[in-house]
Amino acid sequence: MRLALLGYFDVGVSWGVEDAAFRSERAAAQPDIGMVGLRYPLGQGLVVELLTQEPALIGRWRAAARRQLLRPEMETDWDVNLGMSRDEFHRGLAHHISTHPVSRCELTIYAVGTVLAHLEFEPGIPRLFLKGMSQCFEFAAYVPSISLALLGMARDHATAAVDQDNLLAELSRRPPPRTETDADGYTESTLFTSFTDVIACIDEGDDRLLVELLAARGIDAGKAIEFEYHGKLHYDWATCVLEPKTLYGWVPAESPADQIARMFACVQMAHVFLATSEIFVKLFLDETQRQVGGYVTGRVSGRSARDLNRLRTLALAVVNLTDFTLVTQSAEDQTYFKAFARDASLDNQRKLITEACEMLYNIQAEDRDVSPSGPTADRLVSPGSGSRDDLISLSAGISQHLGGFFFGCETGSVELAHRFGRASLGVRRALLSLRDRTFAGMNICPNASTTNRSPPGLATG
């Protein structure tokens, strides 16, 4: 049984939408020809092998994971019915965190700015320690020293692989990750959204542990996605369990590891698509905040109509390329992709990107004198012009577009937000903050009956 963790983050800029943005000698090799029918719309990316290139980071990641055991709120899967004390359980878990071999640790950087992080362990982790291992390494990745080290390495390797005169990088620049500190003084980085456990049952005896593993993770074995020639993908938002078609009696060309390779590739691609969509959702949320801030203060803020038009081209390319029908037409692959897209609300996120970029561009195009040349090009004609109701409508409209489309409903329920991990609540808080700051700048209560334009889903925190 082999545990892997998949996470993703934003490197901060985009250089393109395919591998052509990287110098050819730095791009990843093409996938195994045996992956028949799989296409990679965003390219193969640039792979950084941390196991060989940055081994010291793995040691720091282990140390940070071990320190997570000191946090009372850390869920390590200890239970009083295990027949051992919590301290005894944690000593055993700490031993595996410190010593269990890592078989793979890499970052795959895509030209669009998405980075997929893949940490994988050698077989042999006892089942009772699997969740504790994944939890401790996941939350260790949120520690600012680890997050920022991974971000720095991704930026350094990507910068070395692209031309320095790439104009798209500055145009698409996104805000850096923040650090957040709770009431107890514990600090985390917002770089990562979340991680997914991928557990491969490809070693001798794993078939006998499969039912127990699925039950422990709350996965219904009867709802597995069947891959005719490869096995089963037991899918849940937090965990994917990969079961090969044949564990025993395999021939060398069709080992259990070979059988699950396609399923694992599908899981990776789904996370790349989700990460890319989230990046552009946050990009336009930030741009919206800057634009509305400019209306409130009466100062030019945010990108010009010309830059927004260029950015719109990139955004629409991303929306088109993050369509799972471009990856494969295979029914079994599409069954997984549809389940993932439903849970991630990918269609809503892609629609949000399209609507937000169009709306922002149209607002800027209307309010700016976009003359073809001369010193007045892209000049803000009247930063404070328009009635107070127009400004209220602008703020409410932007908030409603972003909030409604992101949450897939007008109410923007917290329950639905939980399905999308930690970042979704962060986006919701940002929207609420945007609304409150905008109305505060105009000395208006957002729920005032005289305006009647506050989006119902954003009326309360």
Burial classification of residue 220, based on how many CB atoms lie within 10 Å of its CB (0-12 exposed, 13-18 middle, 19 or more buried): exposed
Range of weakest confidence among 142-156, 193-207, 312-326, 351-365: 351-365
Q: What is the predicted pLDDT for the residue at 301? A: 74
pLDDT tens profile 369-379:
444 443 333 33
Rounded to whole angstroms, the Cα distance separating 291 from 160 reads 33
Residue 327's pLDDT is: 94
Pair 305, 378: CB distance under 8 Å: yes
Q: Examine the pLDDT at 30 and tell me if it is beyond 80.
A: no
Length, in residues, of the chain: 461
Does the pLDDT value for residue 238 go beyond 90? yes
Beta-carbon-side half-sphere exposure of residue 6 (alpha carbons within 13 Å): 23
What mean pLDDT is predicted for residues 55-65? 96
Per the structure block, which two tokens stand in for 186?
Answer: 């514990």
DSSP 419-442: TT-HHHHHHHHHHHHHHHHHHHHT
Can you tell me which residue has the tokens 């996605």? 225
| Residue 367: pLDDT band with limits 50, 70, 90 | low
Q: DSSP assignment of 277-317, as one string?
A: HHHHHHHHHHHHHHHHHHHHHTS--S--HHHHHHHHHHHHH
| pLDDT at residue number 389 | 44
How far is 198 from 6, CA to CA, in rounded Å? 7
Burial status of residue 397 (CB atoms within 10 A of its CB: 0-12, 13-18, 19 or more) = middle
DSSP H or E run through 231: strand 231-235
What is the rounded CA–CA span in Å between residue 87 and residue 15? 49
Residue 27 is classified by DSSP as S
Is 206 within 8 Å of 260 (Cβ atoms)?
Answer: no
Question: In the prediction, which pLDDT does 457 show?
Answer: 32
Q: 358-393 as b/e, with b when 16 or more CB fall inside 10 Å?
A: ebbbebbeebbebeeeeeeeeebeeeeeeeeeebbe
* Mean pLDDT of all residues in 193-218: 93
pLDDT at 347 over 50: yes
> Which structure tokens are listed for 417?
């937000």
Kindly list the domain boundaries of the chain, sorted by start residue. 2-260, 267-458
What CA dihedral angle connects 267, 276, 351 and 179, to 10 degrees? 110
> Residue 300's pLDDT band (boundaries 50, 70, 90)?
low
pLDDT of residue 458: 31
Token pair in block for residue 230 = 């490869």
CA dist 61 and 67 (Å) reads: 10
Query: Could you give the CA distance from residue 308 to residue 287 in angstroms, rounded to a whole number?
Result: 10
Cα dihedral 84, 85, 87, 90, rounded to 10, equals 40
The 10s digit of each residue's pLDDT in 432-448 is 454 454 445 444 443 33
3-state secondary structure of 278: helix
| C-alpha–C-alpha distance, residues 214 and 217, integer Å | 5
How far apart, in whole angstroms, are the C-alpha atoms of residue 433 and residue 157?
Answer: 35
Q: Residue 116: pLDDT band by 50, 70, 90 thresholds?
A: very high
**pLDDT tens for each residue of 64-84:** 999 999 999 999 999 888 889
Q: What is the C-alpha separation between 432 and 446, in angstroms, rounded? A: 10
Element (H, E) at 226: strand 225-227
pTM over 0.75: yes
Q: With bands split at pLDDT 50, 70 and 90, how would you rate the model's confidence at 289?
A: confident
Pick 282 or 379 by higher pLDDT: 282
Find where tokens 């669009």 sit. Answer: 112
Query: Bridge partners of 10?
Result: 114
26-30, 214-218, 277-281: which range is least confident on average?
Answer: 26-30
Q: Above 90 in pLDDT, residue 47? A: yes
Whether 114 shows a pLDDT value over 90: the answer reads yes
pLDDT at 366: 66
17 band by pLDDT with thresholds 50, 70 and 90: very high
User: 3: which 2 tokens?
Assistant: 């545990």
List, in order, residues 6 or more apart from 66 with CB less than 8 Å away: 94, 97, 98, 136
Q: Report the half-sphere exposure of 45 (CA within 13 A, side-chain side).
A: 23
Mean pLDDT across 248-261: 78
